[in-house]
């Protein structure tokens, strides 16, 4: 049970982070290869707030998320503003640089953070119900967000920036909000991770972590929440099942990246949204006594 619950908790944490990235990458079309950096900010911020400032657990998680969101503005504000706006892949590289800079900064700071030794003795407060609950809230939140006006703006920006701008969408605020929310999610996921592992080290948040998150979104599908959620779950679970293929995991990831891009760039469930209509239909169909169809 302990083993299974570990996989479940790690999957839930992964799902929260991937949902954030899906909002940014899948919907708004901004690729981030540095999301582990936001996770790191959230993880360290919430752990330090809890341990040194006596902030309660849930508040610390939320504040960790806010810290990650605020840190994202450092790169989002100059990147999206007016004439200096960065085109697609260079925004991705800027996030990569940011993520690595955060990791290396944590690696060389010793006060509070513990440098390369890491931050230890964090209480293990992330239990399975907590992780499940947060993942569920995150999913509901993202789902509602994407149905809101802001979500529609994000979609428009992701599909065609110029057309969106002509329709009166403010590119700057839309992108900045999407980045902030995305980093918030990553920060909360990082906080959960820290309180689950009871130990944080900068090496947990390298480029590998960022590309795992990106892999979940790319395989799961663009402009879909449920697709990335499923892949986020699978990408934690499958490597556990296929332990003997451990070394080959990254090779397979790489080949899958190419294959998906060449043959199915929209991903597994691209452009398909979570809905429960089929469930209602099934219930209605099963309900006894109701006339199926007037013959």
Partner 1 sequence: MTFFLQQLVSGISIGAIYSLLAVGYALVYSVYNFTNWAFDAFMVTGAFAAFYGITLFFMPFAVAIVFSIVMTVGLALFVETTAYRPLRARQAPRLFMMISAMGASLAAVNLANILFGGAFRKFPDIATGAYRIAGVSVGKMDLFAAAFSCVVLSLLWWFLERTKLGLGVRASALDTVTAGIMGVNNNKIALIIFGISGVLSAVAGVFFGAKYAVFPYLGLVTIKAMIGSIIGGIGSLVGAVLGSLLLGILETMISSYVSSVYRDLISFSILVLVLLFFPSGLMGAKRVDKL
CA separation (Å) from 283 to 276, 278, 288, 291? 11, 9, 10, 13
Kindly write out the interface string for residues 125-164 of this chain, putting x where it contacts partner 1 by CB under 8 A and - elsewhere.
-------------------------------------x--
Q: Which stretch binds partner 1 (CB under 8 A): 5-13, 42-50, 98-106, 234-242?
A: 98-106
Nearest Cα to 131, choosing from 39, 218, 9, 221?
A: 9
Distance CA 272, CA 283 (A): 22
Angle of helix 128-147 relative to helix 149-159, nearest 10 degrees, comes to 70
Which positions ≥6 away from 38 have C-beta within 8 Å? 20, 68, 71, 72, 99, 182, 183, 186, 187, 190
Q: Which stretch binds partner 1 (CB under 8 A): 48-56, 61-69, 103-111, 174-182?
A: 103-111
Q: State yes or no: residue 110 binds partner 1 (CB under 8 A).
A: no
Task: Give 7 or 105: the residue with its C-beta nearer to partner 1.
Answer: 105
Give least dist CB 105 to partner 1, A: 6
**Total residues interacting with partner 1, rule: CB under 8 A:** 42
Task: Give 246 or 283: the residue with its C-beta nearer to partner 1.
Answer: 246
Task: Give 104 or 283: the residue with its C-beta nearer to partner 1.
Answer: 104
Q: State yes or no: residue 111 binds partner 1 (CB under 8 A).
A: no
Kindly write out the interface string for residues 12-51 of this chain, putting x where it contacts partner 1 by CB under 8 A and - elsewhere.
-----------------x-x--------------------
Q: Residues 39, 142, 218, 235: which binds partner 1 (CB under 8 A)?
A: 218
Task: Give 4 or 104: the residue with its C-beta nearer to partner 1.
Answer: 104
Task: Give 153 or 211: the residue with its C-beta nearer to partner 1.
Answer: 211
Give least dist CB 210 to partner 1, A: 11
Helices (H) and strands (E) in the chain, counts: 12, 0
- 54 neighbors 272 (Cβ within 8 angstroms): no
Give least dist CB 256 to partner 1, A: 7
Task: Give 162 or 286: the residue with its C-beta nearer to partner 1.
Answer: 162
- Return the SS3 of 123: coil
What is the H or E stretch that residue 73 is in? helix 57-80
Residue 120 DSSP one-character state: -
Nearest Cα to 68, choosing from 41, 95, 101, 103?
A: 41
Distance CA 74, CA 30 (A): 16
Distance CA 123, CA 49 (A): 12
Nearest Cα to 269, choosing from 211, 234, 217?
A: 217
Interface residues with partner 1 (CB under 8 A)? 29, 31, 75, 78-79, 84-90, 92-94, 96-98, 100-101, 104-105, 107-108, 162, 211, 214, 218, 247-248, 250-258, 261-262, 265
């Amino acid at each position: 049970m302990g083993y299974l619950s570990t996989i479940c908790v790690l999957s839930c944490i992964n799902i929260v982070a991937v949902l954030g990235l899906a909002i940014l990458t899948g919907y708004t079309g901004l690729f981030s290869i540095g999301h582990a950096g936001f996770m790191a900010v959230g993880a360290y911020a919430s752990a330090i707030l809890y341990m040194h400032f006596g902030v309660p657990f849930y508040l610390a998680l939320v504040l960790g998320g806010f810290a990650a969101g605020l840190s994202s503005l450092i790169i989002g504000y100059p990147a999206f503003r007016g004439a200096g706006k960065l085109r697609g892949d260079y925004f991705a590289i800027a996030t990569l640089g940011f993520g690595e800079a955060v990791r290396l900064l944590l690696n060389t700071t010793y006060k509070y953070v513990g440098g390369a030794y890491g931050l230890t003795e964090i209480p293990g407060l992330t239990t399975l119900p907590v992780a499940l609950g947060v993942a569920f809230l995150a999913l509901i939140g993202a789902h509602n967000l994407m149905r809101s006006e802001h979500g529609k703006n994000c979609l428009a920006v992701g599909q065609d920036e110029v057309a969106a701008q002509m329709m009166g969408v403010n590119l700057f605020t839309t992108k900045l909000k999407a980045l902030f929310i995305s980093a918030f999610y990553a920060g909360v996921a990082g906080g959960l991770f820290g309180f689950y592992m009871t130990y944080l080290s900068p090496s947990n948040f390298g480029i590998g972590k960022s590309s795992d998150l990106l892999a979940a979104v790319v395989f799961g599908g663009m402009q879909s929440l449920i697709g990335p959620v499923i892949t986020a779950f699978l990408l934690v679970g499958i490597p556990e099942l296929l332990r003997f293929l451990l070394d080959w995991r990254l090779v397979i990831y790489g080949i899958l990246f190419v294959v998906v891009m060449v043959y199915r760039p929209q991903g597994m469930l691209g452009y398909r949204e979570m809905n429960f209509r089929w469930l209602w239909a099934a219930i209605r169909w099963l309900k006894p006594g109701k006339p199926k169809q007037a013959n």
